[in-house]
Amino acid sequence: MSYGPNPWQQTNWDWRAAANFICGGAGSGLLVFTAITGVQGAAQAALLLIGLALIGLGLVCVWLEIGRPLRALHVFFNPRTSWMTREAFVGTLLFPAGLAAAAGVGWALWITALLALAFVFCQAWILRASRGIPAWRQQGIVPLIVTTGLVEGSGLFLFLHPLHGQPSQALMAVFASLIAARWVAWVFYRRRLASSAAPGALAALDRAGDTLQRFGTYIAFALIAPAGIGLVGGSVGSLLAALAGLSAAFAGASLKYTLVTRAGFNQGFALQKLPVRGTRR
């Protein structure tokens, strides 16, 4: 690492921080789609537990990243200004609500879905609040992270169709709409970032954007379209939907990993006024 006027890549957040964003977003999206699709019984409980497990795995990964893990409770000390603290509070409420919903408590299901949305929103603002990293502080990061989490969650829901049965055409239409919304959010974010991020960050993001375009958009659309418009059905349609969901979720995970670990370039030092000897200040 070198410090100076040129941007340098941050090293404080590594794959463990990226895993928190990947697993937390996917798990939150899965909880949301479990609620809105009306899955009942054992399938509902299984999906809720998988979503909570993903969120828990992400939090464990970020806990392992802390230099002094026994001080992890300090994250709860600053809810007024810290989005990490807000994420921790939301997570603290999310787990008991999700477990209650999995146990069959009816009112807990929608509370779980709302808390899951709040969780992924907090994750987006954790990046947005990192003012020293141009690729994170860009305002388009919030809709990009939120839509990516919902796409990942809906993709996992489609992939896990053996648990809840064949997905409906309405669900596949929502999935396709979210893919389109994510692509729009990506294009908006990338265009606004072009003039402020370091060349290394832009190069890494462009590679991830290519994966997002190919696997997360084109291939996902090509796989979901035949089942979504009724050209194929039954086990073939479910298989195509599952592959589309997996492709879209993989592309979202790749984007988040790149965003956190490869595109996190600091802006460098900027001195707008340089001192000149012999002149008055």
Query: Three-class SS string for 57-111?
Result: HHHHHHHHHCCCHHHHHHHHHCCCCCHHHHHHHHHHHHHHHHHHHHCCCHHHHHH
Q: How many domains does the chain have?
A: 1
Q: Where are the beta strands (DSSP E) in 112-183?
A: none
* In-domain check, residue 58: yes
Q: Specify the CATH number for the domain of residue 96.
A: 1.20.1630.10
* In-domain check, residue 123: yes
* In-domain check, residue 241: yes
Distances (CA, A) of 5 to 81, 134, 266: 29, 15, 10
Structural domain span for residue 241: 15-261
pLDDT at 1: 47
Distance, CA of 279 to CA of 162 (rounded, Å): 76
Angle at 196 between CA 193 and CA 197, to 5 degrees: 75
Using DSSP's 3-state secondary structure scheme, residue 208 falls into: helix
Q: Count Cα neighbours of 14 within 13 Å in the Cβ-side half-sphere.
A: 8
Mind listing the pLDDT tens digit for each residue in 86-119? 999 999 999 999 999 999 998 899 999 999 999 9
Specify the pTM.
0.90
* In-domain check, residue 152: yes
* In-domain check, residue 159: yes
Using DSSP's 3-state secondary structure scheme, residue 12 falls into: coil
Mind listing the pLDDT tens digit for each residue in 230-245? 888 788 989 999 999 9
* In-domain check, residue 275: no
* In-domain check, residue 7: no
